Chain A
């Protein structure tokens, strides 16, 4: 599935770091993590993790080896353990010499904190996952790292832990043992919930949902959603994923309007299309189908989007068929792209569209004719018999798709005029939109950050200003004693 490849929004990653070597960047990151741990300020750790996606692509065995060599003191036991996980080096004298030189300069450095170790483990894990030959080792490393994290139980490690769980899932998935990871995730999710570890919890809920959805266990996924509360403080990337999975569950349960809302949220929260094309495409595939199922036609410009154009090709054909209300075109498109839809897991959803195609067809007919015989409906919509047509039209009238009557004796349908809609629905719609705007405003206020103790400075400044004012007043007052012209004002 493509959605795993979604990268966290890393557009804000420090640009000035892009020129530096990966191992240098790792060292800077470790320093930042140390600072974050010492000052108990998760901001620094988050900054490090934002660059993870870009850093991940530039990792190789030598970079990691150099980084580990330089960061840990020579006799550190952790260093040996970490180096053992890396595959043996290719004979490269340059790197050896470089690392040898650096070890001397860094030998006096104190032992880094456990967070740094976990960060390096995370990097090694990502590196191992790039090569199919190392999948088994990656799984072992993942299991060991999880053990270490759980024994240490440090709050400063939480942001890192969330990322580690993602890597753990990848390790299980690539090792083709995704189902086995479920008990582990469930246990960890409970622990995270008890420790109020929001980030890990968010990450784990997504892992579990993905796991269930992967095996089409929508019942279990739905139960998980109803039994857990997704932490509101979770970051956008996690929230986007969560909404995507919610949307997928809802659409299977025929709850299209909620699925639509969820998928829209997922799109809004997701990183820009160019940064995470896989996720953007995956969400759009479902989004298009859900819009169709709701009876809407997606905008045409969507299919011209450079990221989506190719991926949504089959869906575009389906949209055209639904728009035209032509059953035969719909069927041929469906069979033509069956393999693609099956791979996207949208096949069963698209099959459900059949009735929408018919409804759109009837709707078009009802708009263009004021009276049409059932036989003509049958011919135009490629239905099997007039009898069917009568039932189908009857159902469409009952479902409110069209306004009209059937005159059975004469064998035709009379179409009524559309009701002009201005009722309580309008105010409801406005209420919803205003609610959204207000919520957005409140959320953005909540999201503002105030540096610690910054208000003290302001207070001091205000104090100083007041002092000056008082002095001024005094001077004036003194002056006032001298000069009677200024009296009365103070």
Chain B
């Protein structure tokens, strides 16, 4: 494929991406063509010195691809685009002009890790961000996921709930649903431990449900007992099983000591 062809496809992609609402199906087919064109031009995973203009275009295409994956709700695809972008963000950061989409994409990646409950990866990624740690608060794209994580960890779930409308970019909202699913499960497991029973009405508000039927569905999934006459929900107490004495472990440990002592004496 010739560079001219690549260029026209690229312009095509930008046009269909920028139209509102964007044409997801068309972008997808364009992206697939563009990716093979990039591979032919050796720009998908660039090595060595390349033309700066070409690199910028390649980066743009991948960035659009990342956003498109979010809009198409295709998380694995976002993951792939993000790892391909790493080369541009890390190795070519000194050569290329900074991209205005870089931090939104990095932030999206952080949220993705958060919704998948990969907290360790979340922190590793956060450490390797190219900004100073005390400047994070000034960057809306990064501070949003960072705050969410902090609230989740300390248990301020209502703040997470309230922050769902404050997303700094449109794409962040695609993660809101799965994030809410995560926190609902978190809250549910906390409630199981912390309460014996709850009035239905309060349980509904605590779990951020808008009506009782949603709560009833949810309660069924978690195996809670609903007492409709008292209109309360009681949580199945986890019976504490009797702890077995780990015989085998103790025996093997004792034998091990005997052997070692034999060697010492």
Contacts and interface: CB of A to CB of B under 8 A. Distances in A.
A358 B150 CA distance: 12
B202 A398 contact: no
Contacts of B132: 342
B157 interface: yes
- Chain A, interface size: which category? 35 or more
Contacts of B202: 408
Contacts of A254: 119-120, 123
A217 B127 CA distance: 8
Given A398-B190, A434-B257, A409 B264 contact: no
A394 B126 contact: no
A296 B156 CA distance: 23
Given A342-B134, A405-B194, A406-B195, A388 B158 contact: yes
A99 to B, nearest CB: 47
Interface stretch (B54-62, B219-227, B242-250): B242-250
A355 B153 contact: yes
Interface string B150-192: 1001111111000000000000000000000000001101111
B191 to A, nearest CB: 6
A39 interface: no
Contacts of A427: 250, 253
A441 B133 contact: no
Given A218-B128, A347-B134, A391 B246 contact: no
Contacts of A424: 243, 245-246
A229 B63 CA distance: 38
B128 A391 contact: no
A394 B154 contact: no
B96 interface: no
B156 A384 contact: yes
Nearest to A220: B128
B1 interface: no
B124 interface: yes
B260 interface: yes
Given A347-B134, A354-B150, A409-B199, A252 B158 contact: no
Contact of B190 (A215, A217, A222, A397): A397
Contacts of A338: 134
B81 to A, nearest CB: 18
Interface string B190-212: 11111110110010001000000
A348 B126 contact: yes
Nearest to B153: A355
A216 B243 contact: no
A219 interface: yes
A255 B119 CA distance: 11
Nearest to A441: B264
Main secondary structure of the interface of A (DSSP, over half): helix
Main secondary structure of the interface of B (DSSP, over half): helix
Nearest to B119: A254
Interface string A376-401: 00000001110110111111111000
Nearest to B126: A348
A388 B150 CA distance: 13
Contact of A385 (B158, B193, B196): B158
A442 B150 CA distance: 45
B190 A354 contact: no
Nearest to A387: B158
Nearest to A346: B133
A326 to B, nearest CB: 15
B196 to A, nearest CB: 7
A254 to B, nearest CB: 5
Interface string B107-120: 00000000000011
A351 B134 CA distance: 10
A392 B120 contact: no
A438 B3 CA distance: 69
B263 to A, nearest CB: 8
B59 to A, nearest CB: 20
Interface in B87-138: 119-120, 123-124, 126-129, 132-134
A394 B192 CA distance: 9
30 contacts: A215-B128, A216-B129, A218-B124, A218-B127, A222-B124, A252-B123, A254-B120, A339-B134, A342-B134, A347-B133, A352-B123, A354-B154, A358-B154, A387-B158, A388-B155, A390-B206, A391-B155, A391-B187, A391-B206, A392-B155, A394-B187, A395-B155, A395-B186, A397-B193, A398-B193, A405-B195, A405-B196, A406-B194, A408-B198, A442-B260
Nearest 5 A/B pairs, CB to CB: A395-B155, A394-B190, A398-B193, A347-B133, A392-B155
Interface of A: 215-219, 222, 252-255, 338-339, 341-342, 347-348, 351-352, 354-355, 358, 383-385, 387-388, 390-398, 404-406, 408-409, 423-424, 427, 431, 434, 438, 441-442
